[in-house]
Structure 1
């Protein structure tokens, strides 16, 4: 199994009328993913200050297998199914980490 990290940036635009429920569903999905999946190293979601409907998520997975497994989990599938009508656009960008550090 590959040990190479998978790091992605997701750029989303959410229907403003559904933003509050979207944020709740996203929070629930991130909490479950980090708690239940050893291969999900971090998920960090932010919104643009002047455009709260524009969400950015930095995703870090232990490897490609962990990323692919994440896509099949019940909590991720629930999130995808419940938010499908809320997401106006989604762009996934593969990125190479330069330096990533954090404190527990």
Structure 2
């Protein structure tokens, strides 16, 4: 990780009525972002066990500029527009990576 790397944790709660639709939109957005945006290094979404409506996303961007660019992409804007009314709570937390490692 460089000093420019931006790491965020998104804490999201979804109206359970829309959970399946939300998961489809999220999966599409993550796949496209990681595959086509050079500055999106990782997007990992999980749900809290026993609470599928409580989503957590670990986001890793190469830089603040890469993060800002991501927010303007057509696929991210589609996700944001498509999930209006599904998201009941959103908390974005800047985090400091202590140890992040994965296989290539």
State if a TM-score over 0.5 links the two structures: yes
Runs of 4+ in 1 over 4 A off after TM superposition: none
Gaps of 5+ in 2: none
Write the deviation string for residues 55-93 of structure 1: whole angstroms up to 9, x where unpaired.
Answer: 000000000000000000000000000001100000000
Gaps of 5+ in 1: none
Q: Secondary structure at the match of 1:27?
A: helix
* Aligned counterparts of 1:3 and 1:84: Cα–Cα separation in 2: 34
Q: CA deviation at 1:54?
A: 0.2
Q: Equivalent residue for 1:25?
A: 25
User: Is it true that 1:100 corresponds to 2:100 in the alignment?
Assistant: yes
Give the TM-score normalised by the residue count of structure 1: 0.96
* Aligned counterparts of 2:27 and 2:3: Cα–Cα separation in 1: 27
RMSD: 1.1
Contact 1:3 1:62 (C-alpha < 8 Å) held by counterparts: no
Give the TM-score normalised by the residue count of structure 2: 0.96
